[in-house]
């Protein structure tokens, strides 16, 4: 959460930083800020709300700075306000600092600084870091007479050099616990951006026009050709001419640059109105690309077979949509392989004392590979000697570097906060994993990977926008709706419900259809909209009974199903392609995702940036 950027080079730094921040807005959009240093001048601009507000404000200012940093915020500590927006400064305004992560011991540090007379203008942990850092910088002695900046305090005049700052960063990060990627500039030290990193992502980009620091590669696209990934515990600086990196033991590290493989068309809207719309359309491609890559690179075959031993204890954990993909994995392993699986929300998993040991296999699923809750489970599983597998979409993410084995998905960059194509890619990877496990066990399955490919290809261009218009009108002013289904359909209902509430702010609940009569039916009144999902041929009668129960209480049931003969029993039927029971997720998700998307549009909401949320949830 939170996106940070720094640029130093030949070009105008402020427009460059603003441009790059656009690609990081998916990490948070509560406020945005930039700061630059130019000779003796250090200036900060911040605005509450989306980046556009800040860009409009700065638009007509001509700032000839060649070194600047920027930040887009998802608020954790302190409300979204100008005073809590980054970059943060110290009491003497000699530095400006942007941060992604959480300084966990900030309260104690703040108290300590308070007793020394340091005052605070906001509530953030970042301001504490900035002020502690400034104090440590001023406590360093500039020994050599290299280029220095002179600063006057109440009592004396201080000489600050790059070396002083590096020593102060080293000290500050030893005093802080938690996660951080920080970048900062210092008044009087021109054309240098300092950084430190622990657990939050930070990369260095390089081009002939300059050097950059950023949270993620999309920010560097079109600006730099190559990037270096900074590791945990490392710190240093970039300047026009050099890059200096130290590891936690204060050894100098040589950067190792990799080409940026991302294509520009993967991160721009093209002819689409929103990224969510584009990404829903890319769902089929992401399944096919995932299956092709796993197959052509023999990724599953490279995982030692004994990991999939029948006697292993299998755990699955993830958050949000990724957990919903995990639920389908659990369903398939139990239904098709006859083995039991333990599954839980990552935020619950680690606190329930799971019985992990060296016979355990823990499967973590994550689009970003950065989700703090899921990462903690991965680390916990490793501590207990379990083998860890991770289904991850973002290459080079933290999860990729920690897990024992990676099962990569190939959805490409997913920018809308609501996960759509990444979920489908996760399903592709999961079905491939189950097929692989079945092969090791010599078991036959009720589906094949070739069948998945052919139904996905056949339905790639089906568009539900017209058919869903009436349904969108039906719910647009509703306060509450329900999704019901049985078996696999209930798992799809959970995902559909999350998608709808996340971007329309309509309260939505998913229920196993059979559970209605055990309590929730009390909530159904005349005109209440209930979405029923029925793709499982062996559950038609049972689910239909529940539809009748709903009809009797005046509900308007909208049924997503391939069985058109059920049309007369419901308010509206949305026809799905008829496929084998276990393959239903590959055809049922598109209309359900489209329903959420169109509903957000009808309410004039931005589906790509729902309120209070961010794409990568890097705090627990
Ligand atoms: O990056 P991850 O897959 O680990 O993210 C997990 C959830 O935060 C994510 O799926 C979230 O639920 C989505 N916004 C749902 O659309």
d(CA 196, CA 500): 38
In ligand 1, the atom with minimum distance to the C-alpha of 394 is 1
Note the pLDDT tens digit of each residue in 180-207. 999 999 999 999 999 999 999 999 999 9
Residue percentage of the chain with pLDDT more than 90:
85
Is 258 in the same domain as 309? no
Residue 535 CB-density burial (10 A; 0-12 exposed, 13-18 middle, 19+ buried):
buried
CA of 335 to the centre of ligand 1 (A): 26
Is 243 in the same domain as 155? yes
CATH number of the domain enclosing 129: 3.60.20.10
Question: CA nearest 92: which of 135, 146, 124, 57?
Answer: 135
d(CA 125, CA 363): 33
CA of 597 to the centre of ligand 1 (A): 16
d(CA 433, CA 448): 12
CA of 614 to the centre of ligand 1 (A): 9
The domain boundary, picked from 265, 286, 313, lies at: 265
Cα 512–chain centre separation: 28
Mean pLDDT over 51-70 rounds to 93
CA of 418 to the centre of ligand 1 (A): 7
Q: Does residue 263 surpass a pLDDT of 90?
A: no
CA of 420 to the centre of ligand 1 (A): 10
Nearest protein Cα to ligand 1, atom 7: 320
Pocket test for ligand 1, best of 201, 216, 321, 416 (most atoms within 8 A of CB): 321
Q: Are 93 and 187 in contact (CB under 8 A)?
A: yes
Q: 320 — phi, psi (to 5°)?
A: 55, -130
d(CA 398, CA 402): 6
In a domain, 616, yes or no: no
CA of 417 to the centre of ligand 1 (A): 8
Q: Does residue 315 surpass a pLDDT of 80?
A: yes
Q: 564 — phi, psi (to 5°)?
A: -65, -20
In a domain, 501, yes or no: yes
Nearest protein Cα to ligand 1, atom 14: 418
d(CA 142, CA 333): 63
Q: Which of 2, 224, 319, 364 is catalytic?
A: 2
Mean pLDDT over 94-118 rounds to 95
Note the pLDDT tens digit of each residue in 211-241. 999 999 999 998 999 999 999 999 999 999 9
Nearest protein Cα to ligand 1, atom 9: 320
Is 209 in the same domain as 165? yes
Is 324 in the same domain as 275? yes
Can you name the residues that pair with 88 across neighbouring β-strands?
97
Is 67 marked active-site?
A: no
Question: CA nearest 414: which of 383, 437, 441, 392?
Answer: 392
Range from 147-156, 176-185, 304-313, 369-378 carrying the lowest mean pLDDT: 147-156
Nearest protein Cα to ligand 1, atom 12: 320
d(CA 593, CA 404): 33
Q: Are 26 and 422 in contact (CB under 8 A)?
A: no
Mean pLDDT over 521-548 rounds to 96
pLDDT-derived band of residue 61, with 50, 70 and 90 as boundaries?
confident
Residue 275: how many CB atoms within 10 A of its CB? 23
Q: Report pLDDT for 40.
A: 80
Residue 175: how many CB atoms within 10 A of its CB? 15
d(CA 487, CA 477): 30
Using the 8-state DSSP alphabet, how is residue 73 labeled? E
Answer with the residue of higher pLDDT: 155 or 150. 150
Q: Which residue stretches of 511-584 are H helix?
A: 540-552
Q: Report pLDDT for 146.
A: 53
Q: Does residue 357 surpass a pLDDT of 50?
A: yes
> What's the mean per-residue pLDDT of the chain?
94
Can you name the residues that pair with 35 across neighbouring β-strands?
44, 69
Can you name the residues that pair with 360 across neighbouring β-strands?
313
Helix, strand or coil, per DSSP, at residue 616: coil
Can you name the residues that pair with 101 across neighbouring β-strands?
180
45-51-55 Cα angle (round to 5):
60
d(CA 559, CA 582): 19
d(CA 524, CA 517): 11
CATH number of the domain enclosing 318: 3.40.50.10490
Pocket test for ligand 1, best of 26, 274, 365, 367 (most atoms within 8 A of CB): 367
pLDDT-derived band of residue 616, with 50, 70 and 90 as boundaries?
confident
Note the pLDDT tens digit of each residue in 78-99. 899 999 999 999 998 999 999 9
Q: Are 393 and 411 in contact (CB under 8 A)?
A: yes
Q: Report pLDDT for 142.
A: 54
Nearest protein Cα to ligand 1, atom 8: 320
In a domain, 282, yes or no: yes
Is 307 in the same domain as 254? no
In a domain, 619, yes or no: no
Note the pLDDT tens digit of each residue in 575-606. 999 999 999 999 999 999 999 999 999 999 99
Q: Are 57 and 78 in contact (CB under 8 A)?
A: no
- Rounded to whole angstroms, what are the CA distances from 500 to 95, 261, 617? 43, 33, 19
The domain boundary, picked from 265, 294, 318, lies at: 265
Nearest protein Cα to ligand 1, atom 16: 418
- Which residues form ligand 1's pocket by a CB distance below 6 Å? 319-322, 366-368, 371, 374, 417-419, 498, 502, 616-617
Q: Which residues lie below 8 Å from residue 527, measured CB to CB, with a gap of 6+?
A: 554, 555, 556
Note the pLDDT tens digit of each residue in 236-255. 999 999 999 999 999 999 99
Is 434 in the same domain as 577? no
CA of 276 to the centre of ligand 1 (A): 14
Q: Does residue 298 surpass a pLDDT of 70?
A: yes
In a domain, 340, yes or no: yes
Is 566 in the same domain as 422? no
Is 517 marked active-site?
A: no
Note the pLDDT tens digit of each residue in 432-488. 999 999 999 999 999 999 999 999 999 999 999 999 999 999 999 999 999 999 999
Q: Is the peptide bond before 428 cis (omega within 30 degrees of 0)?
A: no
User: 117 is in which domain, residue-wise?
Assistant: 3-265
In ligand 1, the atom with minimum distance to the C-alpha of 368 is 1
pLDDT-derived band of residue 152, with 50, 70 and 90 as boundaries?
low
- Rounded to whole angstroms, what are the CA distances from 51 to 35, 205, 469, 503, 594? 14, 22, 32, 20, 27
Residue percentage of the chain with pLDDT more than 70:
97
Q: Which residues lie below 8 Å from residue 158, measured CB to CB, with a gap of 6+?
A: 138, 142, 150, 151, 152
Note the pLDDT tens digit of each residue in 484-514. 999 999 999 999 999 999 999 999 999 999 9
In a domain, 444, yes or no: yes
Q: Which residue stretches of 441-558 are H helix?
A: 449-458, 465-475, 488-504, 540-552
Helix, strand or coil, per DSSP, at residue 37: strand
Note the pLDDT tens digit of each residue in 18-29. 999 999 998 989
d(CA 613, CA 202): 21
Nearest protein Cα to ligand 1, atom 4: 366
d(CA 462, CA 459): 5
In ligand 1, the atom with minimum distance to the C-alpha of 418 is 16
Residue 376: how many CB atoms within 10 A of its CB? 17
In a domain, 617, yes or no: no
CA of 476 to the centre of ligand 1 (A): 24
Is 234 in the same domain as 344? no
Bridging pattern class, strands 572-575 and 387-392: unpaired
In a domain, 322, yes or no: yes
- List the end-to-end C-alpha distance of the chain, in Å, as a whole number: 11
Q: Are 48 and 82 in contact (CB under 8 A)?
A: yes
The domain boundary, picked from 422, 440, 461, lies at: 461
Q: What domain count does the chain have? A: 3
Question: What is the CB-side half-sphere exposure of residue 337 using CA atoms within 13 A?
Answer: 25
Is 120 in the same domain as 253? yes
Is 433 in the same domain as 567? no
Bridging pattern class, strands 178-186 and 189-198: antiparallel
Question: CA nearest 421: which of 411, 410, 430, 431?
Answer: 411
Question: CA nearest 588: which of 565, 550, 561, 612?
Answer: 561
Q: Does residue 404 surpass a pLDDT of 90?
A: yes
Cα 400–chain centre separation: 14
Q: Report pLDDT for 148.
A: 62
């Amino acid at each position: 959460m939170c996106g940070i950027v720094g640029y130093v080079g030949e070009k105008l730094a402020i427009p460059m930083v603003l441009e790059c921040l656009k690609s990081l807005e998916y990490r948070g959009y509560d406020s945005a800020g930039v700061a630059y240093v130019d000779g003796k001048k250090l200036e900060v601009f911040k605005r509450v709300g989306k980046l556009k507000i800040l860009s409009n404000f700065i638009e007509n200012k001509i700032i000839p700075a060649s070194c600047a940093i920027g930040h887009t915020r998802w608020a954790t500590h302190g409300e979204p306000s100008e005073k809590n927006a980054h970059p943060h400064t110290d009491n003497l305004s000699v530095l400006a600092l942007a941060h992604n992560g959480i300084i966990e011991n900030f309260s104690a540090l703040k108290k300590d600084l308070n007793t020394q007379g340091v005052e605070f203008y906001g509530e953030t942990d970042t301001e504490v870091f900035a002020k502690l850092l400034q104090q440590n910088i001023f406590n360093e002695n500039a020994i050599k007479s290299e280029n220095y900046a002179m600063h006057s305090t109440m009592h004396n005049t201080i000489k600050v050099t790059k070396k002083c700052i590096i020593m102060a960063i080293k000290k500050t990060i030893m005093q802080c616990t938690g996660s951080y990627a920080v970048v900062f500039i210092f008044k009087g030290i021109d054309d240098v951006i300092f950084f430190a990193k622990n657990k939050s992502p930070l990369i260095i980009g390089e081009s002939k026009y300059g050097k950059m620091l950023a949270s993620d590669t999309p920010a560097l696209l079109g600006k730099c050709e190559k990037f270096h990934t900074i590791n945990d515990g490392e710190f240093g600086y970039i300047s026009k001419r050099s890059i200096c990196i130290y590891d936690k033991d204060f050894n100098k590290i040589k950067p190792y640059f990799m080409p940026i493989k991302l294509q520009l068309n993967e991160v721009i809207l093209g002819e689409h109105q929103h990224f969510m719309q584009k990404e829903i359309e890319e769902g089929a491609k992401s399944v096919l690309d995932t299956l092709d890559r796993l197959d052509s690179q023999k990724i599953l075959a490279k995982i030692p077979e004994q990991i999939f031993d029948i006697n292993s204890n299998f755990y699955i954990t993830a958050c949000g949509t990724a957990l919903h993909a995990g639920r389908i994995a659990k369903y398939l392993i139990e239904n098709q392989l006859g083995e039991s699986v333990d599954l839980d929300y990552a935020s619950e998993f680690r606190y329930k004392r799971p019985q992990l040991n060296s016979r355990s296999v823990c499967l973590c699923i994550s689009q970003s590979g950065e989700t703090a809750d899921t990462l903690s489970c991965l680390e916990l599983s490793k501590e207990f000697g379990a083998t860890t597998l991770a289904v991850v979409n973002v290459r080079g993410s933290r999860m990729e570097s920690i897990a024992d084995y990676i099962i990569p998905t190939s959805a490409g960059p997913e920018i809308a906060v609501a996960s759509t194509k990444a979920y489908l890619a996760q399903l592709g990877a999961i079905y491939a994993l189950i097929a692989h496990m079945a092969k090791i066990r010599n078991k036959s399955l009720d589906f094949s990977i070739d069948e998945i490919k052919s139904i996905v290809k056949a339905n790639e261009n089906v568009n539900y926008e017209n058919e869903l218009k009436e349904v969108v009108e039906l719910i647009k002013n509703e306060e509450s709706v329900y999704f019901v289904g049985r078996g696999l359909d209930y798992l799809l209902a959970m995902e559909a419900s999350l998608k709808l509430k996340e971007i329309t702010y309509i309260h939505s609940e998913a229920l196993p259809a059979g559970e209605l009569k055990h309590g929730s039916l009390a909530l159904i009144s005349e005109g209440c909209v209930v979405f029923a999902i029925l793709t499982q041929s062996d559950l038609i009668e049972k689910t239909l009974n529940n539809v009748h129960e709903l009809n009797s209480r005046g509900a308007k049931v909208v049924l997503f199903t391939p069985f058109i003969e059920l049309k007369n029993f419901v308010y509206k039927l949305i026809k799905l392609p008829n496929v084998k029971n276990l393959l239903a997720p590959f055809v049922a998700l598109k209309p359900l995702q489209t329903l959420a998307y169109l509903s957000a549009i009808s309410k004039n909401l931005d589906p790509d940036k729902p309120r209070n949320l961010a794409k990568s949830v890097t705090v627990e």
